[in-house]
Chains A and B, each alone.
Chain A
Amino acid sequence: MGAFLVRRLLLTIPIVFIVSVVVFSLLHFLPGDPAVLILGQEATPQALAALRARLGLDQPLLVQYLRWLGNLLRGDLGRSLITNQPVLEVILSKMPPTLELAIGAFLVSVLISVPAGIVSATRRGRLPDYLATTFAFAGLSIPHFWLGIMLLLLFAVQLKWLPASGYVPLWENPTQNLKVMILPMIATGMRESAIVTRQLRSSLLEVLGQDYIRTALAKGLREQVVLVGHALKNAMIPVLTVSGLQIAGLLSGLVITEQVFSIPGFGRLLVDSIFNRDFTMVQGGVLVAALMVVTVNILVDILYAFLDPRIKLVTSEAV
């Protein structure tokens, strides 16, 4: 286990390195000049050139990259090209709402998808199954954006139960925070639950068709015991894979959800920085996102071993 962790952590270094190279090159191939966005459309070519030189943007790409990498190794992600604030500080300040939203949405998703998946697999072909699959189908097809606006229109404009926006950090005002966060959690969680419901249903159906389930039932075990003790645990592996991917996606920002519900999170920071050609901010942001994805993947791998002892973390094949 310990050796596994060390090896996986070491493996993240090349992954993150490759990500940083790709992001760096992509950013610089992106049309759009930060100098023009800083100095405005009326700037003279001389002024633009001078600014590029001051920002180091006139250096060869490799030099720029190595300089950035050197600072990174010292734990310095640089300062924003636009606001001059330290990149790391800004990113960290945007993480709490995103983390909260990701965790909340995941909980909503589990609360919906686990019962829905089980019901639909065990009552296959009957009304509950149809309802659950219809729900999953709708959840996948309804655009995020539209669902968000509809929730706002219903709960904020018509019923006036909840505010349409006004995020405050959880530790400052928990009630207000939850009032603002509950709708985005539901909107995102519903979509995620649709995916998990489908996955759980199909993998559960597969497991329920296995010989050992028939044997267990033939031994006279109660259906619930077989379902929970035997089937669910084995059906969980692919579900876990899907959930892991989802959490990783949620953590790297939910641009649309954050925009609809006016939450100042990580996703909006990234998109905003791309539009402003705030290169240092985007590089730092993507790096942090990559680290989060890698971390979640490691956690998922560890959970595999708990669910299925046949998966050994120490063997090199397990990676």
Chain B
Amino acid sequence: MSRLALILTLMVALVVTACAQPAPTSQAPAPAAPTTAPAPKQEPPKAAPTEAPKPAPTTDAAKAAPPAAAPAAADTIVIALESDPPRLDPHLSSAAVDRQVFQSLFDTLVDLDENLNIVPELAEKWTVSPDGLVYTFNLRKGVKFHDGTDFDAQAVKVNFDRMMDEKTASARRAEISSVDKVEVVDPQTVKISLKKPFSPFLSVLTDRAGMMLSPKALAADAANFQNKPVGTGPFKFVEKVKDDHVTVERFDEYWGGAAPTKRIIYRTFVDGNVRVVNMKSGQIDMSNLTPAKDIPSFQSDAKWKVSLKPSLGWQGIWLNVTKPPFDKKENRQALAAALDRAAITKVVFSDLSAVPGWSPFPPGTPAYDETKKMPARDLAKAKDLLSKAGNPTGFSFTFKIGQDAVAQQLGQIVQSMAGEAGIQVKLEQVEFGALLDQLGKKNFEAAQIGWSGRPDPDGNVTNHFITNGPNNYAGYSNADVDKWLEDARTAQDTAARKAIYKKIDDQLAEDQPFIFLWWPVNDKVYVSNLQGYVHVPDGMMRTQKLVKK
């Protein structure tokens, strides 16, 4: 009886909190100390007091958070991931989330800075032969892998050989297919020869293909490298518990100086709401992919900092040009004209996690065309195009979308906008793996799937729009575009390349194999006492300088 009463009380309490919750006015209840610690001057805070009772995995953060006016740097920084990183081997990884953990474990030959310039990392400098065929890298001295072995030119060769070997089944093989051979000149110099000029080569090396794995660890057990990865990064691998966390610990012999933070724990929170609850309860120091609806509540809270930056990717709708109704260009153009990009980003993304987009080259990337304006919604034009296509009363098609809330909202808004032009949209929700499969087999009429983007423009168009390209889901084929894509790949001059990409951009806007609708905005939300974070547009959380005061 009394138990019953207790339960009922609990239920009432729940309903009350439920009603109170949606107000985004985040009046954080207890945390009396917002600690706007005036940035202490001592930049390299050598080893925080090592009094952690034992390497207990996690989550005393909650206890420490409210009262501690932490004078020194915190031992541990907790970073939230949006899914479990499946494979911690840069050569095998095919999930974007893996890359976040790699930022701690591995270094790349070259890196990107905030403005997408290529900057030295493991390679101190490099030269490219005039014909664009030979890249010679001078490697940094004194770099050690976590297992104590030296990083040298031979290690670079071992890494490339492994990626290029078909038996490795490396997801990198396609990215570096232009590489012919890798030669060791001397321990600090390595020469990479290409089969034909490939301008995006350096930018490819800023991602997983440029990450260097320990040859010793690979030789010991290559198949299980992913379960015990060894790199040169600022943190070394400690443990991974699937679906829960990955722990990495400071590598004291890091060539760039030991990191100020002792330990980083990456924790997986698949659901956006759950991630937000964990952030607000003090379990997480840093996160990305925060649901747009929750971003304002962090922006208005002094305990959090929000950094929003355009990403490198694009999003929109693939149209299958190999079968009706989208084999007719006018039908594709009509659908594009019926859609209101500004309304979509406002309704679906609260104008926070996306901006209207209309090209494969988002703002801030080298091929972005600042002269172009957003195509306005034009229902009259859409109806006109439908008449030209021979179906003045419109047509109907099935629109395949993902299963998350954003995809649903997007599907519905496209459905209603297209409906006003007489185009009937049937929505079909498909699980991601199945959707990829159906796209690959051209088993769709229209589908929503985008691209995370690459720093070099080539990575944003070639595989997607060249005839028979691996990501050319539309089945699009245009001889001019094919030639231009090839030209831009081989041209060495930046201005010349930009001019070619403009032609490609214009042609894609005319042909509409893909309706570009929005450019995703990359969000990072982190506790305000976290310092040292630089938001690079590739969205990676580089951890070496992170420190929580």
Are A165 and B278 in contact, with the CB atoms below 8 A? yes
From A38, A43, A262, residue with most partner B Cβ within 10 Å: A262
The answer for the CA separation of A131 and B57 in the assembled complex, in Å, is 43
CB contact between A157 and one of B3, B169, B269, B280 (< 8 Å): that residue: B280
Cβ of B424 within 8 Å of any chain A Cβ, yes or no, is no
Give chain A nearest CB distance to B157 CB in angstroms: 22
Given A40-B174, A158-B17, A262-B268, A50:B437 Cβ within 8 A: no
The answer for the CA separation of A115 and B4 in the assembled complex, in Å, is 8
Cβ of A63 within 8 Å of any chain B Cβ, yes or no, is no
CB contact between A38 and one of B29, B94, B268 (< 8 Å): that residue: B94
Are A165 and B4 in contact, with the CB atoms below 8 A? no
Give chain A nearest CB distance to B93 CB in angstroms: 8
Are A112 and B29 in contact, with the CB atoms below 8 A? no
Cβ of B471 within 8 Å of any chain A Cβ, yes or no, is yes
Are B3 and A112 in contact, with the CB atoms below 8 A? yes
A-side contacts of B438, CB under 8 Å: 31
CB contact between B94 and one of A39, A156, A167, A265 (< 8 Å): that residue: A39
Q: Which of B56-115 contact A (CB under 8 A)?
A: 56-59, 62, 66, 84, 86-87, 92, 94
B-side contacts of A36, CB under 8 Å: 436-437, 440
Cβ of B224 within 8 Å of any chain A Cβ, yes or no, is yes
The answer for the CA separation of A264 and B434 in the assembled complex, in Å, is 25
CB contact between B29 and one of A128, A158, A173, A269 (< 8 Å): that residue: A158
Are A269 and B243 in contact, with the CB atoms below 8 A? yes
CB contact between A160 and one of B30, B86, B471 (< 8 Å): that residue: B30
CB contact between B171 and one of A43, A152, A260 (< 8 Å): that residue: A43
Give chain B nearest CB distance to A146 CB in angstroms: 8
Cβ of B48 within 8 Å of any chain A Cβ, yes or no, is no
Are B84 and A85 in contact, with the CB atoms below 8 A? no
Are B14 and A154 in contact, with the CB atoms below 8 A? yes
Give chain B nearest CB distance to A60 CB in angstroms: 20
Cβ of B371 within 8 Å of any chain A Cβ, yes or no, is no
Flag B19-39 by CB within 8 Å of A: 1 or 0 each: 001000000011000000000
B-side contacts of A160, CB under 8 Å: 29-30, 62, 66, 281-282
Interface with B: A214-222, A272-280, A300-308, which one? A272-280
Flag B451-466 by CB within 8 Å of A: 1 or 0 each: 0000000000001000
Interface with A: B5-13, B475-483, B489-497, B541-549, which one? B5-13
Are B17 and A112 in contact, with the CB atoms below 8 A? no
Instruction: Please give the residue numbers on chain B whose beta carbons come within 8 Å of chain A beta carbons, in ascending order.
Output: 1, 3-4, 7-8, 11, 13-14, 17-18, 21, 29-30, 56-59, 62, 66, 84, 86-87, 92, 94, 166-167, 169-171, 173-175, 223-224, 226-227, 241-244, 267-271, 273-274, 277-278, 280-283, 431-434, 436-438, 440, 463, 470-471
Instruction: Please give the residue numbers on chain A whose beta carbons come within 8 Å of chain B beta carbons, in ascending order.
Output: 30-33, 36-44, 47, 50-51, 54, 82-85, 90, 94, 111-112, 115-116, 119, 128, 131-132, 135, 138, 146-147, 149-154, 156-158, 160, 163-168, 172-173, 176, 190, 259-260, 262, 264-265, 268-269, 272, 275-277
Identify 24 residue pairs between A and B in the complex whose beta-carbon atoms are under 8 Å apart, listed by A's number: A36-B436, A36-B437, A39-B170, A40-B174, A41-B94, A41-B463, A41-B470, A44-B174, A44-B470, A47-B166, A84-B224, A112-B7, A115-B4, A149-B274, A149-B277, A151-B14, A152-B281, A164-B62, A166-B58, A166-B283, A168-B56, A168-B57, A262-B268, A264-B241
